[in-house]
Structure 1
Amino acid sequence: MSLLLPLESNPDVMNKFMYLLGVPEKWNVVDVYGIDGDALEWVPKPVLALILLFPYNTKYFEFAKQEAEEIKEKGQIIVPDLFYMKQYVSNACGTIALIHSVANNAERVQLQDGDFKKLLENSKNLTPEERGEMLSTAGVNSDAYKVIKAHQELAKEGQTEADPNEKVVHHFVAFVQKGGYLYELDGRKDFPINHGPSSEETFLTDAAKVCKKFMERDSEDVNFTIMAITAKES
Structure 2
Amino acid sequence: MTSMWLPLESNPDVMNEYVSKLGISSSWIYTDVYGFDPELLGFIPRPCRAVLLLFPITEKYEQFRKDEQSRIEQSGQTVSDQVYFVRQTIGNACGTIGLIHSLLNNRDAIDLGNGAIKSIWDQTQGISPEQRAKTLESSKELARIHDESSHQGQTHAPSADEEVDLHFICFVEKERHIYELDGRKPFPINHGVATGDLLNDSVEVIKKFMEREPDQLNFTAIALVRNPDEA
TM-score norm. by structure 2 comes to 0.95
| Structure 2 residue matching 1:172: 3-state secondary structure | strand
Q: Does 1:124 align with 2:120?
A: no
Q: Does 1:12 align with 2:13?
A: yes
Uncovered stretches (5+) of structure 1, i.e. residues with no partner? 139-143
Q: Does 1:217 align with 2:217?
A: no
Aligned runs of 1:122-161 on 2, under 5 Å? 122-136=123-137, 138=138, 144-161=139-156
**Identity rate of aligned residues, in percent?**
42
CA distance in 1, matches of 2:115, 2:39: 38
1:102 CA displacement: 0.4
1:38 CA displacement: 1.3
CA distance in 2, matches of 1:233, 1:114: 24
Uncovered stretches (5+) of structure 2, i.e. residues with no partner? none
CA distance in 1, matches of 2:225, 2:122: 24
In angstroms, what is the RMSD of aligned CA positions? 1.1
Q: CA offsets, 1:89-129, max 9 Å, x none?
A: 00000000000000000221122122211210211011000
- Structure-1 residue corresponding to 2:190: 194
Aligned length: 227
Q: CA offsets, 1:154-206, max 9 Å, x none?
A: 1011222221121111000000001111000000011110001115x321111
- Structure-1 residue corresponding to 2:100: 99
State the AA in 2 paired with 1:148: A
CA distance in 2, matches of 1:64, 1:42: 32
| Structure 1 residue matching 2:89: 3-state secondary structure | coil
1:145 CA displacement: 2.1
Q: Does 1:173 align with 2:169?
A: yes
Following TM superposition, the consecutive aligned residue runs of length 4 or more in structure 1 with deviations greater than 3 angstroms are none
Q: CA offsets, 1:11-64, max 9 Å, x none?
A: 110111111222220111110011121111011111010000000111110111
CA distance in 2, matches of 1:115, 1:63: 35
CA distance in 2, matches of 1:37, 1:181: 21
CA distance in 2, matches of 1:92, 1:118: 18
CA distance in 2, matches of 1:145, 1:77: 35
CA distance in 1, matches of 2:92, 2:198: 28
- Structure-2 residue corresponding to 1:206: 201
CA distance in 2, matches of 1:79, 1:19: 28
State the AA in 1 paired with 2:161: N
1:148 CA displacement: 1.8
160-169 or 212-221: which moved more?
160-169
Which of 216, 221, 224 is the equivalent residue of 1:229? 224
215-224 or 19-28: which moved more?
19-28
CA distance in 2, matches of 1:221, 1:169: 12
CA distance in 2, matches of 1:221, 1:118: 38
CA distance in 1, matches of 2:24, 2:77: 31
